[in-house]
Structure 1
Amino acid sequence: MVLNIENLTGGYSRTAVIHDISFNIKSGEIVGLIGLNGAGKSTTIKHILGLLNPHAGHIEVNGTRIGEDTEEYRRALAYIPESPILYEELTLNEHINMTAMAYGLDEATAWERADKLLKMFRLEEKGRMFPTHFSKGMKQKVMLICAFIVEPDLYIIDEPFLGLDPLGIESLIELMVSEREDGRSILMSTHILSTAERYCDRYVILDDGKLLISGTLDELRTGMNMPGASLDELYLSLTGGARSNESTHS
C-alpha cells in the first residue's frame, strides 16, 4: 500500500474540519479526490503532506508515518499545488537543480529526465528565464517538471488542469498514465469529473468533511443503485444537484 489513511480526524488548531476519513491508494493507481469547495479535500492533502497534525487517526506512506522518519516519508511523495509556488530569484534551470538536491537525485539523472519534460511542455528554450516572465500556465508547467523528475512513489496533484493550455493538459495526462504504468501512484483532486472518470481507477468522494463513498466507478454505481451512471451523475446525486452543479462549474 503506497498511501494508507485510517480514521483521520483533523483540521486547524482545535477545530476539526475532516472527520474519521479512511482510504488507501495501491501501487500503480490514479485515485480521484472529489468534493465541493469546503468538502475537506485541501485539509486532507495538507495532512498527507505533514503540514497539519491529526487530531486522531494516522497516515502512512509506504508503511511509514511521518513521525517515524520524516525524510523518508517526504521523499516518497511529490506535491503539485493548485496555484504555482516558485522562487522569483531562481531561473527555471535553478528550480530543477534545487529539486534534484532536495530529493538527493544526481545531476545527470535529474537532467536526463528534465530535458524530456522541458521538450514535452515546450519550455526547453526558457531555462535561463525567471518566473516573473512566466504566465500562470508556464509556472504550472515548471511545477509539473520539478515533480515528475523526482519519480516518487506517490504524486499528490491539486486541480492539475487549471491554467494549462490544451497541449499542456494532454502532456500531463500522458505523463500520469505513463507513471501509473510504471507502478507509481497519483492522488488527484479535481472538479473536472469527465477527465477523472476517464483516467482514475478509483474515487474518494468527500462532503462536509466526511467520506461519503469510495471505490471504482462500477462499485459506486452498484452501491448507489445507479447502473450506467456517469461520475458526474453519481456525484450530483450524492451531494445534491443544485449546489454540486454550482461547484463543478466554478
Structure 2
Amino acid sequence: MALEVNNLVGGYSSISVLKDISFKVPSNSLVGLIGLNGAGKSTTINHIIGLLKPMKGSIVLNGVSLQEDAGSYKEKIAYIPEIPVLYEELTLKEHIELTMMAYQLDKKVAWEKADRYLKIFRLDNKLDWFPINFSKGMKQKVMIVCALLPDVDLLLVDEPFLGLDPLATRDLLNLLDEEKRAGTAILMSTHVLTTAQEVCDSFVMIDEGQMLASGTLSDLQAQSNQPKSSLSDIYLNMTDK
C-alpha cells in the first residue's frame, strides 16, 4: 500500500472543509478523486502535499507519516497543480534544472527523461523561452514535465485536463499509464467523469467535504444499487444533483 489517508478532518484556518475522509491509493494504480467544483478535491490534495495541516487524522506514504517526518515524506511525492506555478525570471531549461536540484537527480539521467517528455509535448525547441511566452496549456505541460522527472512513490494530479488540447491530454494519459505500470501510486482529482471512468482503476467520491463511496466502478454500481450505470450517473444520483 502506498498512500493511506485516515480520518482526515481539515480545511482553512478554523473552518473545517473535510469531514472524516479516509481512503487508500495502492502502488501500481490510478485512483480518481471524484467530485464537482467545490466538493473538496483540491483541499484534500493540499493536505496530502503538506500545504495544509490536518485538524485530525493522519496521512502516511509507505510507512512515512507526513505529520512525523515531513521531509522524508515530501521526497517521495510529485505534484501537478491545477494552476501552473512558474517563475517568470526562469527559462524552461532553468525550471527543469531547478527540479533536478530540488530532488537531487542525476543530471544525465534526468536530462534523458526531460528530452523525451519535451519532445512528446512539443516543447523541445523552447528551452530558452520564459513563462511570459507560454500559453496556459504550455505552462501546464512544463509542470507535467517537471513532475515526471523524479522517481517518486506518489504522484498527485489536480484537474490536469484544464487548458490541455486533446493531443496533450492523450499524451498525459499515456505517461500516467507508464508511471502506474512502473509502480507509482497516482491520485488524480477531476470533475471530468467520462475520462475518469475510462482511465482510473478505482475511485474516491466526495461531496461537500464528505465521503460518498469508494472502490472500482463495479463496487460503486453495487453500493449505489445502480448496475451498469456510468460514473457520472452514480455520482449525480448520490448527490441528488
TM-score past 0.5 threshold: yes
CA contact (8 A) 2:59 2:67 kept: no
The one-letter code matched in structure 2 to 1:199 is V
Q: Equivalents in 1 of 2:122, 2:7: separation in Å?
A: 43
Specify the alignment match of 2:213 in structure 1.
Answer: 213
The one-letter code matched in structure 2 to 1:173 is L
Specify the alignment match of 1:32 in structure 2.
Answer: 32
Aligned partner of residue 163 in structure 2, secondary structure: coil
CA shift, 1:14, in A, is: 1.4
Q: Which moved more, 1:118-127 or 1:231-240?
A: 231-240
The one-letter code matched in structure 1 to 2:238 is L
Mind listing any 5+ residue stretches in structure 2 that lack a counterpart? none
Q: Equivalents in 2 of 1:46, 1:183: separation in Å?
A: 23
Specify the alignment match of 2:149 in structure 1.
Answer: 149
CA contact (8 A) 2:38 2:208 kept: yes
CA shift, 1:167, in A, is: 1.2
After superposition, the C-alpha distances for 1:2-53 in whole angstroms (9 at most, x for unaligned) are 1001111011111111111100010011000011222111111111011111
The one-letter code matched in structure 2 to 1:185 is A
Specify the alignment match of 2:82 in structure 1.
Answer: 82
CA shift, 1:70, in A, is: 2.0
The one-letter code matched in structure 2 to 1:33 is L
Q: Equivalents in 2 of 1:67, 1:9: separation in Å?
A: 14
Q: Equivalents in 2 of 1:132, 1:150: separation in Å?
A: 26
Q: Equivalents in 1 of 2:99, 2:113: separation in Å?
A: 12
Specify the alignment match of 1:110 in structure 2.
Answer: 110
After superposition, the C-alpha distances for 1:67-88 in whole angstroms (9 at most, x for unaligned) are 3322211111111111110001
Aligned partner of residue 156 in structure 1, secondary structure: strand
The one-letter code matched in structure 1 to 2:85 is I
CA shift, 1:240, in A, is: 1.7
Specify the alignment match of 2:71 in structure 1.
Answer: 71
CA shift, 1:62, in A, is: 1.5
Aligned partner of residue 226 in structure 1, secondary structure: coil
Does structure 1 residue 123 correspond to structure 2 residue 105?
Answer: no
TM-score (norm 1): 0.94
Q: Equivalents in 2 of 1:153, 1:64: separation in Å?
A: 11
Mind listing any 5+ residue stretches in structure 1 that lack a counterpart? 242-250
Number of residue pairs the alignment of both structures matches: 241
Q: Equivalents in 2 of 1:17, 1:191: separation in Å?
A: 18
Q: Equivalents in 1 of 2:230, 2:66: separation in Å?
A: 37
RMSD: 0.9
Q: Equivalents in 2 of 1:163, 1:151: separation in Å?
A: 26
Specify the alignment match of 2:237 in structure 1.
Answer: 237
The one-letter code matched in structure 1 to 2:185 is S
Does structure 1 residue 136 correspond to structure 2 residue 121?
Answer: no
Percent of counterpart pairs with the same letter? 55
Q: Equivalents in 1 of 2:173, 2:14: separation in Å?
A: 38
Q: Equivalents in 2 of 1:211, 1:31: separation in Å?
A: 15
Aligned partner of residue 64 in structure 2, secondary structure: coil
The one-letter code matched in structure 2 to 1:6 is N
Aligned partner of residue 4 in structure 1, secondary structure: strand
Q: Runs (4+) of structure 1 moved beyond 4 Å? A: none
The one-letter code matched in structure 1 to 2:96 is I
After superposition, the C-alpha distances for 1:128-157 in whole angstroms (9 at most, x for unaligned) are 110100000000000000001113111111
The one-letter code matched in structure 2 to 1:188 is M
